[in-house]
Amino acid sequence: MALRIQVDVVSAEEQIFSGEAEFAVFPGEAGALGVLPRHTPLLTRVCPGTVRLKIPGRDEFERFYVSGGILEVQPTLITLLADTAIRAKDLDEAEAVKARQQAEEALRGRSTDACYASAEAELAHSITQIQIHKHNTLKKNRKARH
């Protein structure tokens, strides 16, 4: 039996996931951060991006979009406190595309550096959500063909 680690993903609104994983990947500031059971304790910030969890008994990773947050790793427990967290299967591509368009318009018509930074962040969030949604769509299409 493979080693497992408890993972809790919590957003400001609700608990998104609580369960065991064999392996987890988080979007860290210096790149992807992989965590296995018995990892050395760690506390770090998480960037906007995709969280991937290898759930026991499943071939595919469970995926989530996070807008950022704090990751605490203990040898038997991972806790992610995310600003925003959404299951990949719950992402709305149309909404993400609309958000990207609004962010691009805001970048073109920026009035202050703060507005520009906010629009850049929103653009990054929406692009990441679109990429996650497209990955899930491709995965579903491959399964349907087999």
Name the CATH architecture for the domain at 91-145. Answer: Up-down Bundle (1.20)
Range 24-38 average pLDDT = 93
DSSP 12: S
What average pLDDT does the structure give for the chain? 80
- Taking a C-beta distance cutoff of 8 angstroms, is the pair 9, 82 a contact? yes
The domain locations on the chain are: 5-88, 91-145
> pLDDT band for position 83 (50/70/90)?
confident
What gap in Å lies between CA 54 and CA 34, rounded to an integer?
A: 11
Q: Letter for the amino acid at 120?
A: E
What is the predicted pLDDT for the residue at 55? 96
Q: Which fold does the domain 5-88 belong to in CATH? A: ATP Synthase; domain 1 (2.60.15)
What distance in Å separates the CA atoms of residue 139 and residue 59, rounded to the nearest whole number? 12
5-88 against 91-145: fold identical: no
Count of CB atoms situated within 10 Å of the CB of 96:
21
pTM of the model: 0.67
Structure-block tokens of residue 88: 């990949």
Q: How many CB atoms lie within 10 A of CB 84?
A: 16
